[in-house]
Amino acid sequence: MPNPILPPPDLHRHGGDGWVTCGDHRHWGLFGAAGLLLARRDDDGVPSHLVLQHRALWSHMGGTWGIPGGALAPDEEPSAGALREAAEEAAIDPAAVHVVGTHVLEHPAWSYTTVVADVAPGYGVEPRAADPESLEVRWVSLADLDRLTLLPAFGESLPRLLALLG
């Protein structure tokens, strides 16, 4: 039986994996990191649900909720990295994603790009935990966000991210 607090040895790896020291803390991703905030809208066109990931206990800030994402590979553009990570972690087909904007969190030695998107017209998305980096991946109603323990940086940036959805 796998240990829930240790990463599995066969997880997908690439040259961007590693920690970057930034002042008194560390960030994952030698070339930065990116994630996908995917929204579903109600019949009136208002964002109603987000795809969120319940992070594996062994991961950084494990047990919190955030978006699928991770370290960028060498020479990988943030949008491509966010879509790759969402496919790996949440089984989200990149063709089903319509990007509406990005938000970059800049630190002196590292950055995190959130790709903000809607489900593309004509597509349905049924996210799921597609690898061991997640305890669960699912659509979460905006009304239920306050019931979850969010990854702190995600929670702080959420108002700005939702504003990008219009």
- Identify the burial level of 56 via C-beta atoms within 10 angstroms of its C-beta, where 0-12 means exposed, 13-18 middle and 19 or more buried: buried
> What is the predicted pLDDT for the residue at 6?
47
Extents of the domains making up the chain: 19-164
Overall CATH class of domain 19-164: alpha beta
Q: What is the pTM of this model?
A: 0.86
User: Which residues, in sequence order, are bridge partners of residue 139?
Assistant: 51
Amino acid 64 reads T
CA distance 17 to 139: 28
Contact (Cβ atoms closer than 8 angstroms) between residue 98 and residue 57: no
CA distance 70 to 42: 29
Q: What is the pLDDT of residues 19-77, one digit of tens each?
A: 777 777 776 668 788 999 999 999 999 999 999 999 999 888 889 999 999 989 999 99
